[in-house]
Structure 1
Amino acid sequence: MTTHPFSRRRLAVSVSLALATLSAQAAPEVAPAADAADAGPVPTVVVSARNGDYLGNHTASAAAPTQSSLAATEPQSIITRDFIELSVTPAAEYSRIVNIAPSLSGDSANGPGLSETKTTMRGFGDDQYNITFDGIPWGDTNNPAHHSTSFFPGSVIGGAIVERGPGNADNLGYATFGGSINLFSKKPSKEQHTSVFGSAGTWNTRLGGVSWESGQLAGWGNGTIQLNYQHLQSDGYLTRNTINSDNYMLKVRRPLGESTVATFFVSANQIGYVQPDNNKGPTLAQVAKYGKNYSLNDDPASFNYAGFNHTSKNTDFDYLRLETNWGAGWATDNQLYTYAYDNETISSTDPTGLTAPGTKAGPKGNADIPGIDKRNKYRVWGDILRLNKSFEAGTFRTGVWYERSDTDRHQYDLDLTLGVRDPRETKPVPVTFPDVLFDQQSTIHNVQPFAQFEWSVTPDLTVTPGVKRVQIRRAVDAAVNQTTRVLQHTSVEYKATLPFLTANQRIGDGLAVYAQYAEGFQIPDLKSFYIADPTKNSSDPQKSTNYQLGIVGESNALTWDVDLYKIDFKNKYVSNGLGGTDAAYVNVGGATYKGIEGQATWLVGGGVALYANGSKNKAEANDTGKTISGSPDMTAALGLLYNAGPWAGSLIGKRTGAVYQADYDPAKPAAYEAYRTGAYTNIDLSLAYRFANPGMNLRALKLQLNVFNLAGKQDVTSISPGKTVSGDQYTFQAPRSFQVSARADF
């Protein structure tokens, strides 16, 4: 099977073809078509406010860090570019941006934006909800997890909408199970300008970049071009855990004729880490000896030698979108896309210090350091077609999502001291692969047709029924399969029909209530193929049934919303515990998730706004009645926002509740309580001053100070249980840090 790696040549060809397509037709002066495209069927709410100006002080909605829409049909949190630019570190990626929302939690152990962060949503893990970019779902191909630093830095994100629920039929992805984090690119500026930006801060963190907006080009059908480049490097809080990354972004929008708008987007990211593959933190013994930030060292005789632990990641994300109004109420929206991820890792095998040095390659009693050569590399191709027809009674929406992925994964034994693969493998593998832990290729073929009708029962009541059909075929073609270590060539199909029904009732100009019934699903993990005969697995994926009620209020002085939810998780996909040819993954019980959430912003006056959100969450296994591991029991945020004249600022605290770090085992009840961590809080401060027309041909100059974890707390955020207690690994809050930033607009 052929995979498609990251390639500058491939990207250059893609850019050339797309620009040729966009240049093929040009309608002079078609500004209305370009404006209409901003309100197309994918981004239901425009989240890119004013291209980086300060938080508005005229309405609570303009000042709100998060808020819901009066048209919402499920709990949501809308986050604007204004909030990102003022209150989030310039080094941030999406996890830091969306963490402000209720029921979301996650923290970077290496410092804000300086390491991958796994965000939880209502207790659902990172592989149990979708993440989309401009309406396109993306994620890993072994399971639908995400790498927060690998694709989209904060400088290319125009805003986000967190949807806590499966959404409507056209909400796409492999894990509608838990909800969606929907990211959006920046809205094009109508005027030409250039911005140069940079920041410097704790742990020798440095960031620099430049962005260019063409504005509406009168001789090019009022089309727009956006360019962005960003470089980030840092030593990081964790010892020797450096990061170095570059991102290149191009976005072109152009009318083709009078009724079509084309958008071409490409983002390429290159990132290098120095870190262990098992990056779950130090043991308590290591903390006592070296400190909470211990990770790597400079000793070549150690598993933790920085020279033995490094990762290179190359990614790209590209799409061509055509939005067409055909007249008579008909419209189409088609997105042809591809994205790729290439992770090449060299790492030692045990950073805990509990394994004695010595490899199978050296003589008896040798002190060589064993390691791995790891690859996870995939290319995804897809197309999303949406067809809309407007009637007097409402809008009918239908379409289909098609996607194919090709994945190449391997892991080889290494003798890091000798710098070669470990040539003597004791486990039973074919003799032609003596050093291979696994060498595996896999594919996913996905087809999901969907349909819904937004029925306008009255001018104030909208009822939307819909259905989505899931048809997925997963195949593995492995010379040496993971875990079983034998040849594997097989495929399994998964099918599901997912109905939903929502209603939104407007009550006057500033109040609405909504209700949702919806079913979600999650694609089975690739690990279900790590058995002798995967065709014996159940073909029924994990499912969720969501029941949600909410109310949204909005006025000039106050925006607020509250919701209640209950989610029944069924068909949990687990191993039957058998070995050999009897091994299989089967459906068993599940869990119940329920809670209450809310968010509010009050515009006090004089440039001051107050913000608060909170959630009370429960996630309990049906068989034991105990809380599921990794699920915080609450979240809360409090904030003070200020905007008057050239000054702007924010002081926001986010608290994440207590978490059980291991699932309940009836045979070890004491251990369950021992792995419960307490709540922790991060308080972030931002102050900014904007000089208008300061001279030197500058339109504006903004200076900003951000302080993160202002209180300097270093509580435990997670524990990864080891085979013994001495092997438990801990992560902590990164201590207080700061960044000083500047942006010059020309």
Structure 2
Amino acid sequence: MSQRPKTSLALLPLSHGLALAGLALSLGAQAADEAKPGADVVTLDPVTVSAQSGAYRKEKNTASAVAPTQASLTATQPQSVITREFIEQSVAPTAEYSRIVAIAPSVSGDSANGPGLSETKTTLRGFSDDQYNITFDGIPWGDTNNPAHHSTSFFPGAVIGGAVVERGPGNASNLGFATFGGSLNLFSKQANKEAGGSVFTSFGTWNTRLVGVSLESGQLAQFNKATVQLNVQRLSSDGYLTGNHIGSNNVTLKVDLPLSERHTLTGFASINRIRYVQPDNSKGPTLDQVAQYGKNYSLNDDPTSFNYTGFNHTAKATDFEYLRLRSRWSTTFSSEAQVYTYSYDNQTISSTDPTGATAPGTKAGPKGNTDIPGIDKQNKYRVTGGIFRTETQLDAGLLRAGAWVESSDTDRHQYDLDLTLGVRDPRETKPTPVQNPSVLFDQQSKISSFQPYVEFEWEPLQGTTVTPGFKHADITRSVSALVNQTTRVPQNASMNYTANLPFLTLNQQLGSGLAAYAQVAKGFQIPDLKSFYIADPTKNSSDPQKSTNYQLGIVGKSAALTWDADLYKIDFTNKYVSNGLGGTAAAYVNIGGAVYKGVEGQATWLIGNGIAAYVNGSINKATANDTGKTISGAPDSTAALGALYNSGPWGASLIFKRTGRSYQQDYDATNPAAYDTYRIAATTNTDLSLSYRFTGLGWGVRGLKLQLNVFNLMNKQDVTSISPAKVAKYDQYTFQAPRSWQLSAKAEF
């Protein structure tokens, strides 16, 4: 075992976000004064992150250089690293993160309106979108009513430098409100050393258009080799679904500023604005509507219809910003302080029922009126937080410690509207603290969270790394509502949730290019805000849902082949469910759980002459403990096959993805027939990409890349989900978007 120099570790007390903000500012002030002539030059690397800003260190002309997904030889849990090169070659220019990570094993989900043209809820090993974390540059983000995500609202594909899909809770330093099912970790693009930029555009099916500019300052010698990146783009499309137009604008800025040889400050800001024309209930048409109008039926031009385009629209305004100070204080001690904020503002006007189950008529009109009822819906929140990480090299091993603090404020409401008259119910002008049928809810809520962690990476033998760790989660959720959701009465309540989350990992190097790993780790998920939609939330259980993950894996790499495989079992306990009682006896309690288990693998073979073959697959099983039946929404398998070509100016990929069958309703012994009724068959999708890069064009143009992408090449239009209604006639179906194409050009200068 190699000897490591000793150093001491002092953990700074962190009680709230302001402490972290003050720390970051004070470190920045000190850094400018501490650079001395002759000081050791230290390369700054991110502290305790899974991958470096979307980059994967690899050698050219190897399988690792072209692999769509792969794991690291130092992995401690199943993972899929996805590079920027794959994104640019094989993913739709209009896409966001859901389309990027869909290539990975055990991941599924796609947009019904076309690639990147509507929100997509992915599943990971059968876990739903609110049961795993999504991070951006190490910052967990998501909704505040539950930790779900809006895929089109924050980061377009053009600003994502890469992704790491981690299938498991990870180490103690993995942060978020849902370490339950794993993490989708997104990273911003790395800066270029040379100045330049690009102008890019795409157009294609459904009048889809994308135009943008990306600028790189290169390393600015007069500012300690600082770099500046700017991306500005505009997307618009009519979409596959009738009447579902989307318009999106994004501006993203990233600055890396070395303050000295030991300290680097990074600033990031992304502002996004989206307008949709779509119903608030976007779960698809009924079978009767499909028979009459087609699989893409959604909205129409009839002002007497619930589905009128003028009655269904959404505007979303989001922003995401952070400051990060990375410091290397000595050869044995480094730290990272990061403060951030992000916001989400959803303003929706929508009719109440796109299925035809409800007859026209509103409370506001006279008896027998045919006005169209609707809602005015708001979901608006601001999140602020900070993350502080330290890393200390001791004789015995590497000690990592830190803390995450975060707070959020949310303002949500939903009011009845008479869409035909364009007014709210005239009998009600403001919410009042009494039951009122015109105010569905007017609610404010808060979350405060504190999660300290510590982990120790120990190397007892050469090539053997053992890492135990521990994280404590302390979360308080509160509601202050004039009219609370569901109960429609005033509500003021608060609940505190805590969880102790130990983990242990092992990585064993088995020789050149071969390693094995094992993990035992605890995960958890914060209870949903809906647990406050009862008369007395203090009667709820204070124990959050938890999971225990057991995972084994092996990773192999050579110049011609990169591969890995893993086995997993996840025991999900403390399932948070309603006790089924009404009135003051209603409560959410921990009952039962589920078991998730399976096998996964991925491999890329570099055949030669620029040709590579790719394959991945998973067999997944998610069963409820009480019934032994498959959990709704959990596919039983995934698989992918691909061929890739890169030689000179030419590039191409052909990738096939299969998502296995799933059940769309949980098993109910009182109605067992419904379980099989809502089973959907496996779906498949094939994407084709062809590109050619011209060089030596002059006029300051370094290169011009032309690219053709064809999505769903085989034109499959199978059912991807079913939303059961009270009456089967009004069940809603979502289908695959049919074959589409996008032609793109990117001029580099």
Question: TM-score, with normalisation over the residues of structure 1?
Answer: 0.94
Letter in 2 for 1:729: Q
**3-state secondary structure, aligned to 1:613:** strand
Matched with 1:409 is: 412
Post-superposition Cα deviations, 1:142-198, rounded to whole Å, max 9, x if no partner, equal 000000000000000000000000000010000000000000000011000011001
Contact 1:34 1:261 in 2 (8 A): no
2: CA distance, partners of 1:439 / 1:28: 54
Paired position in structure 2 for 1:590 = 593
Which amino acid in structure 1 is aligned with residue 410 of structure 2? T
The yes-or-no answer on 1:557 pairing with 2:564 is no
Partner Cα distance (1:739, 1:35) in 2: 44
- Contact 2:443 2:483 (C-alpha < 8 Å) held by counterparts: yes
Aligned to 2:108: 105
Q: CA deviation at 1:117?
A: 0.2
| Correspondence for 2:264 | 261
Structure 1's 26 and 303: CA in aligned 2 closer, same or farther, altered over 3 A?
Answer: farther
Residue correspondence of structure 1 range 169-208 to structure 2 within 5 A: 169-208=172-211
Distance 1:87 1:281, change over 3 A: same
- Aligned partner of 1:47: which letter? G
Match in the other structure for 1:384: 387
Instruction: Please list the CA deviations of residues 649-691 of structure 1 after superposition, one character each: whole Å capped at 9, or x if unmatched.
Output: 0000000000101100111111110100000101000000011
The CA RMSD over aligned residues, in Å, is 2.2
Offset, 1:392:
2.7
Tell me by how many angstroms 1:118 deviates. 0.2
Q: CA deviation at 1:48?
A: 3.2
Q: Return the alpha-carbon distance in structure 1 between the equivalents of residues 281 and 746 of structure 2.
A: 37
Structure 1 CA distance for aligned equivalents of residues 593 and 613 of structure 2: 40
Question: Is 1:738 matched up with 2:741?
Answer: yes
Distance 2:91 2:60 in 1: 19
1:597, 1:615 within 8 Å by CA — same for their partners in 2? yes
Task: Give matches, 1:600-619, under 5 Å.
Answer: 600-619=603-622
Name the CA shift for 1:147/1:481 in 2 (closer, same or farther; >3 Å). Answer: same
- The partner residue of 2:474 within 471, 475, 482 is 471
What stretches of structure 1 of length at least 5 have no aligned partner? 1-13
What's the offset of the Cα at 1:628? Answer: 0.2
Question: Letter of the aligned partner of 1:609 in structure 2?
Answer: A
Shift of 1:38: 4.1
2:627 equivalent among 619, 624, 636: 624
Shift of 1:24: 9.8
* Partner amino acid, structure 2, of 1:232: L
- The change in CA–CA distance for 1:215 and 1:272 in structure 2 (over 3 A counts) is same
Q: Deviation at 1:393?
A: 2.3
| 1:693 paired residue number | 696
- Cα distance in 1 for partners of 2:673, 2:38 equals 66
- The yes-or-no answer on 1:368 pairing with 2:371 is yes
2-structure distance, mates of 1:538, 1:170: 27
**Structure 2 CA distance for partners of 1:26 and 1:226, relative to 1, 3 Å:** farther
Q: What is residue 302 of structure 1 aligned with on the other side?
A: 305
Please tell me whether residue 481 in structure 1 is matched to residue 484 in structure 2: yes
Alpha carbons of structure 1 residues 202 and 324: separation in structure 2 relative to 1, 3 Å: same
Q: Is the 8 A contact 2:124 2:181 kept in 1?
A: yes
What are the Cα deviations for residues 463-521 of structure 1, in whole angstroms up to 9, with x where unaligned?
00000001000000001000111111110000110000000000111000000000000
Amino acid at match of 1:486: V
| Equivalent position of 1:347 in the other structure | 350
Quote the Cα distance in structure 2 between the aligned partners of 1:499 and 1:267: 35
Give the match for residue 8 of structure 1.
none
Q: Structure 1 residue 667 and structure 2 residue 705: aligned?
A: no
Label 1:647 to 1:302 Cα distance change in 2 as closer, same or farther (>3 A).
Answer: same
Q: Unmatched 5+ residue regions in structure 2?
A: 1-20
Asked if the contact 2:76/2:518 (under 8 Å) is kept, the reply is: yes
Does the CA-based 8 Å contact 2:624-2:630 persist in structure 1?
yes
After superposing the two structures, state which structure 1 stretch, 685-694 or 551-560, moved more: 685-694
What one-letter code is carried by the residue in structure 2 that aligns with 1:258?
A: E
Work out whether 1:518 is the aligned partner of 2:521: yes
Specify the code of the residue in structure 1 equivalent to 2:99.
R
SS in 2 for 1:702: strand
Q: CA deviation at 1:327?
A: 1.1
Q: Residue 220 of structure 2 corresponds to which residue in structure 1?
A: 217
The residue that corresponds to 1:44 in the other structure is 51
CA contact (8 A) 1:34 1:223 kept: no
Match of 1:291 among 294, 318, 332: 294
Note the 1:315-354 alignment, pairs <5 A.
315-354=318-357
- TM-score by length of structure 2 reads 0.94
Query: Tell me, what secondary structure is at the counterpart of 2:335?
Result: strand
Contact 1:130 1:137 in 2 (8 A): yes
Give the Cα–Cα distance (whole angstroms) in 2 for the partners of residues 23 and 326 of structure 1: 11
Matched, 1:716 2:719: yes
User: Does the CA contact (< 8 Å) of 1:500 and 1:518 recur in 2?
Assistant: yes
The aligned counterpart of 1:574 is 577
TM-aligned CA distance change 1:374 to 1:151, over 3 Å:
same
SS of the residue corresponding to residue 79 of structure 1 reads strand
Instruction: Give the Cα–Cα distance (whole angstroms) in 1 for the partners of residues 544 and 637 of structure 2.
Output: 29
1:47, CA displacement in angstroms? 2.9
Deviation for aligned residue 1:229: 0.6
Matching residue of 1:6: none
Contact 2:594/2:625 (CA < 8 Å) preserved in 1? yes
- 2:406 is aligned with what amino acid? E
Query: Would the aligned equivalents of 1:73 and 1:504 in 2 still touch at CA under 8 Å?
Result: yes
Pair 1:56–1:422, CA change in 2 (3 A): farther
- CA deviation string 1:335-363 (max 9, x = no partner): 10000000000000000012110111111
Please give the alpha-carbon distance, in whole angstroms, between the structure 2 residues aligned to 1:113 and 1:29: 49
Query: In 1, Cα distance between the equivalents of 2:554 and 2:744?
Result: 39
Where does residue 3 of structure 1 map in the other structure?
none
Shift of 1:129: 0.1
Task: Give the letter aligned to residue 185 of structure 1.
Answer: S
Task: Give distance in 2, aligned partners of 1:705 and 1:250.
Answer: 28
Aligned-residue offset at 1:37: 2.8
Aligned residues of 2:46 and 2:336 also touching (Cα < 8 A): no
1:683 aligns with 2:686: yes
The number of residues matched between the two structures is 724
